[in-house]
Amino acid sequence: MVSQPGCQGVTVFGDDADGEYGTFVLWNSEDNAAAAQVIRPKLQEFFAGNVQRLRDVRLFKVLS
């Protein structure tokens, strides 16, 4: 993901106690975030068989 245009950073977080994990990706624009959705099928293939459910993808505005 970090090699995609407009990606300003990736943070992976989780809790071993409940098995919940997530990824936070900071994009410099909504257009670059939308264009990066080409990665989603590759991630789904990577995680297939290794996770209980596929992740939710949501887009939030960041206040600075």
Is 51 within 8 Å of 25 (Cβ atoms)? no
pLDDT tens-digit readout, 9-59? 999 999 999 888 888 999 999 999 988 888 888 888 888 887 777 777 888
Euclidean distance between CA atoms 24 and 64, whole angstroms:
16
pTM above 0.85, yes or no: no
Euclidean distance between CA atoms 2 and 9, whole angstroms:
6
Res 56: pLDDT: 79
Euclidean distance between CA atoms 40 and 44, whole angstroms:
6
CA dihedral for 3, 8, 30, 1, sign (positive or negative): positive
| Token representation of residue 59 | 């887009």
